[in-house]
Chain A
């Protein structure tokens, strides 16, 4: 069962999920990338250089932190945080972009492109491109550029060009479409750095592998700190890269409960959330077969989440497989609960989580409350909330107003 869960059967497939549903124009580039990745994996010099980048540029290993005050408040299991928010650029995304930029250099390509939602992957791509002197264009939906203005500025400051996307819902899915269209015409000299475990093979595998430093570190840090593995590991899931990186080294540890948290938005009816596994069904989006949110004609559904990084109608194919195999349980956290979790963690621990990560925090608090104090819940705190502060302030003001009105009436 373990090997079945960990390695795709037919190359590029996780059980029935995955594949390469892309225009013929891109096929050759995917083959080239697959070959280059196999060659890199067999090359000790590549592993050494990647380790150096993770250490010196990303600042790894990231800390494992016992959230004592939060645990006390919750009054259940002991809660630990894997501090991906402390990485350079503020999230786990840098792990993947450093690895992919190294692959890009091996292929002799001089330009990278990326899609971004919250802007964290865009910033991480711009950073890696700056480090290695590559040209970088980042596609970003107009709505996300508004929500994440600070990250737009950071990318531009590092020399990247941010390309505004006005099609569709103007969010992550549409930015991904535009990046793929760019790649259709630029594939000879450009590498597309996909930011999550989505897209056609080999991207889901490559991104998972580059992100698996999260879970490998966390696993050994837990053994060192607590002398045992955690009982529950929790991560948020949009496309699912931080979760894949966190979960994959724990997949073989059957006693460890794995919990993926999708964006519940403002409710689980059509168009109001981004919970692809919880509410979707198998379908094809952006080159792979996985769980997707579609209408009955196969058109991609509109999605909503408070967090730009989770605002995506699909999910990585390996998550679909883990779900189908019942190895990972997927649940949802709505906008309001995520916002609440931002406040809770900020006050209890002095850590402001990204809105994405707050979904994991919220579900983890709920799960920890059900458990006794001899249990351990480990959260992947995938990113910091600095980028979200303006958005959070606006949202809290909106929440506070009606609450204030009610209080007045009460008096």
Chain B
């Protein structure tokens, strides 16, 4: 089964055709509760973002900084589970939601559910892609096979520490888009983009037609625009989750409003 009908693939094809760049917001699913996740998805669907990354809370996210860690801990303490998150996605699709969705999920969770089971349930719920930050190319063959079979785009990551030939190998296997990590480090807001990022992305794009999106440390409109000079999309996570944290006591609609407003500022 090919990925011609995959929402992520179609979205980037349309963006490329229009010569446009996009924003990929990350939110922690189930934070501060699942109702908020549902409300934020509806809000983002109307805001014209490219792909929403739904972070599945995990007890031990080694690639994440304090903001996302704290949101994971809070969501888990509130009893959020993967199946609960899939239910929210399913309802969003039933209500006509067309926003491309990629789950950002630890391989610990996928493996425990069983690779095939997880992929099937994610696809059935209406997810379009998987980003697995602790699964390097060398260990990803099984997931790659099942994801392709289930119509899910398995997005692979490239780091500043990745050697040149390996970057191309990762690029060949990545589906939907390629996630370029701008800094060797964990997620979290940083004031500026490392100098070599844009050159690295430009070099990568000379060798691949797969869209390239840049994440880690992007937190304001200036950096987003800078990323857009070279990449197809900018991924913003901690800056959004931090705003959700600041309004954690508010209603789902209010939090969705805060996220929507911030996302529109980033894309302005």
Give A contacts to B, CB under 8 Å.
19-29, 167-168, 173, 177, 180-181, 184-185, 187-188, 282-287, 289, 292, 294, 296-300
CA distance A386 to B129 in the complex (A): 53
The smallest C-beta distance from A33 to any residue of chain B, in angstroms, reads: 13
For this complex, 6 residue pairs linking A to B, each with C-beta atoms less than 8 Å apart, are A21-B108, A25-B160, A28-B163, A184-B186, A283-B111, A299-B58
Tell me which residues across on chain A come within 8 A of B166, comparing CB atoms.
27
Q: Is the CB of B73 within 8 A of A181?
A: no
Q: Is the CB of A298 within 8 A of B159?
A: no
Interface SS of A by simple majority: mixed
Q: Is the CB of A297 within 8 A of B184?
A: no
* Interchain CB contact (< 8 A) of A185 among B107, B136, B185: B185
Q: Is the CB of B136 within 8 A of A24?
A: yes
Q: A27-B138, A299-B58 are in contact. List 10 more A-B contacts (CB 8 A).
A: A22-B134, A22-B136, A27-B166, A29-B161, A181-B63, A184-B62, A187-B184, A282-B111, A283-B111, A285-B108
Q: Is B106's CB within 8 Å of the partner chain A?
A: yes
Tell me which residues across on chain A come within 8 A of B61, comparing CB atoms.
177
Tell me which residues across on chain B come within 8 A of A297, comparing CB atoms.
81-83, 109, 112-113
Tell me which residues across on chain B come within 8 A of A282, comparing CB atoms.
111
Residue of A whose beta carbon sits closest to that of B63: A23
Q: Is B97's CB within 8 Å of the partner chain A?
A: no
Give B contacts to A, CB under 8 Å.
58-65, 69, 73, 76, 81-83, 106-113, 133-139, 156-163, 166, 170, 181, 183-186
CA distance A25 to B106 in the complex (A): 15
CA distance A286 to B60 in the complex (A): 8
Q: A184-B63, A298-B113 are in contact. Are A25 and B108 (CB under 8 A)?
A: no
Q: Is the CB of B60 within 8 A of A184?
A: no
Tell me which residues across on chain B come within 8 A of A180, comparing CB atoms.
62
The smallest C-beta distance from B119 to any residue of chain A, in angstroms, reads: 14
Q: Is the CB of B184 within 8 A of A185?
A: yes
Tell me which residues across on chain B come within 8 A of A287, comparing CB atoms.
134
Residue of A whose beta carbon sits closest to that of B185: A185
Q: A19-B139, A27-B161, A28-B161 are in contact. Are A298 and B63 (CB under 8 A)?
A: no
Tell me which residues across on chain B come within 8 A of A27, comparing CB atoms.
136, 138, 159, 161-162, 166
Q: Is the CB of A168 within 8 A of B157?
A: no
Q: Is the CB of A188 within 8 A of B184?
A: yes
Tell me which residues across on chain A come within 8 A of B159, comparing CB atoms.
23-25, 27-28
Residue of B whose beta carbon sits closest to that of A23: B63
CA distance A177 to B106 in the complex (A): 14
Tell me which residues across on chain A come within 8 A of B81, comparing CB atoms.
297
Q: Is the CB of A24 within 8 A of B185?
A: no
Tell me which residues across on chain B come within 8 A of A24, comparing CB atoms.
136-137, 156-159, 161-162, 170, 181
Q: Is the CB of B184 within 8 A of A20?
A: no
* Interchain CB contact (< 8 A) of A181 among B106, B109, B137, B186: B186
Q: Is the CB of A184 within 8 A of B184?
A: yes
* Interchain CB contact (< 8 A) of B110 among A23, A29, A167, A298: A298
Q: Is the CB of A23 within 8 A of B112?
A: no
Tell me which residues across on chain B come within 8 A of A285, comparing CB atoms.
60, 108
Q: Is the CB of B62 within 8 A of A300?
A: no
The smallest C-beta distance from B246 to any residue of chain A, in angstroms, reads: 20
CA distance A180 to B62 in the complex (A): 6
Q: A27-B162, A181-B186 are in contact. Are A21 and B112 (CB under 8 A)?
A: no
CA distance A188 to B181 in the complex (A): 16
Tell me which residues across on chain A come within 8 A of B160, comparing CB atoms.
25
Q: Is the CB of B161 within 8 A of A187?
A: yes
Residue of B whose beta carbon sits closest to that of A287: B134
| 5 A-B pairs with the lowest CB-CB distances in the bound complex, closest first | A298-B112, A185-B185, A298-B109, A25-B159, A28-B161
The residue among A21, A25, A284 with the most chain B CB atoms within 10 A of its own CB is A25
* Interchain CB contact (< 8 A) of B136 among A20, A173, A177: A20
Q: Is the CB of A168 within 8 A of B60?
A: yes
CA distance A21 to B156 in the complex (A): 13
Residue of A whose beta carbon sits closest to that of B113: A298
Q: A24-B136, A283-B111, A294-B108 are in contact. Are A299 and B162 (CB under 8 A)?
A: no
Tell me which residues across on chain A come within 8 A of B138, comparing CB atoms.
20, 27
* Interchain CB contact (< 8 A) of B106 among A167, A188, A298: A298
Tell me which residues across on chain B come within 8 A of A292, comparing CB atoms.
108
Q: Is the CB of A185 within 8 A of B60?
A: no
The smallest C-beta distance from B92 to any residue of chain A, in angstroms, reads: 21
Tell me which residues across on chain B come within 8 A of A28, comparing CB atoms.
159, 161-163
Q: Is the CB of B60 within 8 A of A173?
A: yes
CA distance A188 to B184 in the complex (A): 9
Q: A185-B183, A283-B112, A298-B111 are in contact. Are A21 and B60 (CB under 8 A)?
A: no
Q: Is the CB of A298 within 8 A of B108?
A: yes
Q: Is the CB of A300 within 8 A of B60?
A: yes
Residue of B whose beta carbon sits closest to that of A181: B186
CA distance A25 to B162 in the complex (A): 7
The smallest C-beta distance from B110 to any residue of chain A, in angstroms, reads: 7
CA distance A287 to B62 in the complex (A): 10
Residue of A whose beta carbon sits closest to that of B64: A181
Q: A24-B157, A24-B181 are in contact. Are A284 and B111 (CB under 8 A)?
A: yes
Q: Is the CB of A25 within 8 A of B184?
A: yes
Residue of A whose beta carbon sits closest to that of B156: A24
Q: Is the CB of A25 within 8 A of B181?
A: yes
* Interchain CB contact (< 8 A) of A289 among B82, B111, B158, B162: B111
CA distance A184 to B83 in the complex (A): 30
Tell me which residues across on chain A come within 8 A of B163, comparing CB atoms.
28
The smallest C-beta distance from B181 to any residue of chain A, in angstroms, reads: 6
Q: Is the CB of A23 within 8 A of B60?
A: no
CA distance A24 to B133 in the complex (A): 8
The smallest C-beta distance from B154 to any residue of chain A, in angstroms, reads: 14
The smallest C-beta distance from A97 to any residue of chain B, in angstroms, reads: 22
CA distance A292 to B73 in the complex (A): 19
The smallest C-beta distance from A333 to any residue of chain B, in angstroms, reads: 26
Residue of A whose beta carbon sits closest to that of B83: A297
Q: Is the CB of A20 within 8 A of B112?
A: no
The residue among A20, A187, A284 with the most chain B CB atoms within 10 A of its own CB is A284
